[in-house]
Structure 1
Amino acid sequence: MADDTQDVTPASPFTQVPIEITISVGMARPTVRELLRLKNDSILPLDKKVDDPVELYVGDKLIARGELEEIEGDPSGQLAVRLTEVADLTSGL
């Protein structure tokens, strides 16, 4: 993943199309028995710790890593991701 930032100039109308980014905070591997026993207030342990980086994906392509944080001054406690590593998306096409 590259650390440098690049200016992106809109060269086509496709640059205005919104995309969905999935933030992965971890993975769980319960058995089928454990899965069938899940109910409200069940705890499902993940393979990551609270301070571990999260991964950002578009589809199945890893595009960045970052840290979860609350948006400062937001009374609802809305989450955001501060990017720490960004992939070089211009290569490999």
Structure 2
Amino acid sequence: MTDKPADMAQPNTAERRNPFSAVPIEITISVGKTRPLIRDLLALERNSVLPLDKRVDDPVELYVGERLIARGELEELDGDQKGQLAVRLTEVADLQDGLG
């Protein structure tokens, strides 16, 4: 009999209730949108500035696929991760019924 790898050890309570709880998902953070004319889009080059519909301090939106799951504020991490962006959640959707 072979030993199970460490990541195949006994699942925690949440994983026993829902085997998909340990599956990673991709979350997209939307910081804003823009609608340039095609001629303006074709004129873009390095160092061009493309204004968005939001301000720096406006909330960002978090999506899984097309589903809005939360809103939050961008912030910069400190310490060993200094300079890395993060999102502090300010609103979270009720996901008890799933993402569908």
With normalisation by structure 1, the TM-score equals 0.84
- Unmatched 5+ stretches in structure 2: 1-12
With normalisation by structure 2, the TM-score equals 0.79
- Candidates 9, 16, 41, aligned match of 2:14: 9
Say which one has the larger Rg: 2
- Unmatched 5+ stretches in structure 1: 1-7
- Candidates 61, 65, 69, aligned match of 2:67: 61
> RMSD across aligned C-alpha pairs, in angstroms?
1.7
Aligned: 1:27 with 2:36: no
How far 1:91 moved relative to its partner? 3.6
Higher helix share: 2
> 1:74-89 to 2 correspondence within 5 Å?
74-75=81-82, 77-89=83-95
Relative contact order (alpha carbons < 8 A, sep ≥ 6): 1 or 2 greater? 1
User: Percent identity at matched positions?
Assistant: 68
The total of aligned residue pairs comes to 85
Superposed structure 1 runs of 4+ greater than 3 Å apart:
none
